[in-house]
Homo-oligomer: A and B are copies of this chain.
C-alpha cells in the first residue's frame, strides 16, 4: 500500500517514466460529483515541464484520460482511474548512468532496497509519478469546493536566499500564475527569476519554500492523536520529491516566541463562533482545525541533478567523477506549487469525509452546534 494515500478518499499512483503510462486510481470519491475533466487537465498543465525557460525543457503533452468512475459526467462512487501516456522517454539518455549512483538521488537507495533498479528515467522516483498526485488532487479540489467551499492556494515564498512577503488571506491563483516563478510578490519574483537563470548558467540548482493556504476550512477536521491534521499534512508534504521540511503555522520561527506572544487570543468571530486575532497555530490546534486558514510551508532542497562534476561511486565499488549532462530543472519550486496544493487538497478531502462519519449522533442541550 506504499503507493496509496488516504483513509476514505484515497489515491493510488502508479507508473515510471520508462513505462507506458503513469496514473492514479482515486477510490472513495463520493458519488454525484460533476467532475470537470478540463479542470483536472488544467492542474496537470500547471505541473507540466516546459512551461517556461525556468523549468526543464522536456516536452510532454500529459493529456489525461479517464478510464473509469464516471457516468454521464458524474462520479458513481467507483474508482476513478486517470492515466497519462509517457511520450518523451528518450531511449539512451540514461545509459551512462546505469552503472553508478548519482549523488543525492534515489539511485543507491533504490538498489539497497530492491536489489536492482530501473535505471532508465529514475524508475519509481521519477518526477512523473507526481502526475498521479496532481490528477487525484484535482478531483479532491473539486470535492472540497462542492462540499464546503474550501479553496486552496500555494505559491513560491522563497528561493535560495530570496524571501517574498505574501498575504495568505487574499492571494489567488491568478496572482501566483502571473509569472513563471509562481511567486506572487513581483519584486521578489524578479529577483528569483534572475537567480534561477544564473543557477542554470552555472549548471547549478536552487531550493526554496512553497507556502500553501486552505481557506474556508470548517472547524473540527483532524483528530487529537495520530490523525492530527498536522500529522497527515506532514506525511503528505514530506512524501513529495525533494521535500525536506514542513511547518504548520509558526513552525520553527514560533519556537523563538514566548507563550504569551505565540498564543492566539480568541474573540467572537463574524459568525458568532470563536475566532483568533493571530494565526500562529496555522489553523490547527490540538490537531484539529479551528476555523482559521490552514497554512503550511514546505522546504524543497536544491535539485540533485546539476551539471557540475561530482564525486560518486559505481555499482562495482569504484570512486569516479560524474559530469551530468542531461536535461534538468535548475529549480523545481514553480512546478512544486501544484504538487503542494494537490497534497493539501487530498488531506482535506480525506479529513472532511472522515468527520462526516464522526458527527452523526444528536446533540444534547449545551452541546456546540455543528458548523453551518
Contact = CB atoms under 8 A, between A and B. Distances in A.
A62 to B, nearest CB: 15
B255 A113 contact: no
A264 interface: yes
Interface residues of A, number: 175
A167 interface: no
A104 B263 contact: yes
Interface in A315-338: 315, 317-319
B361 A30 contact: yes
Contact of A115 (B159, B160, B274, B363): B363
A244 to B, nearest CB: 5
A140 interface: no
Contact of A67 (B21, B33, B277): B21
Interface stretch (A52-60, A179-187, A286-294): A286-294
A311 to B, nearest CB: 4
A96 interface: no
Copy count, this protein chain: 4
A224 interface: yes
B65 A361 contact: no
A12 B244 CA distance: 28
A221 to B, nearest CB: 8
A263 B322 CA distance: 13
Contacts of A101: 266, 274
A216 interface: no
Contact of A109 (B66, B67, B219, B231): B219
A110 B68 contact: no
Contact of A267 (B106, B110, B313): B313
8 contacts: A4-B27, A15-B81, A71-B123, A113-B358, A208-B255, A233-B234, A244-B255, A259-B302
Nearest 5 A-B pairs (CB), nearest first? A106-B286, A234-B234, A205-B259, A112-B219, A71-B118
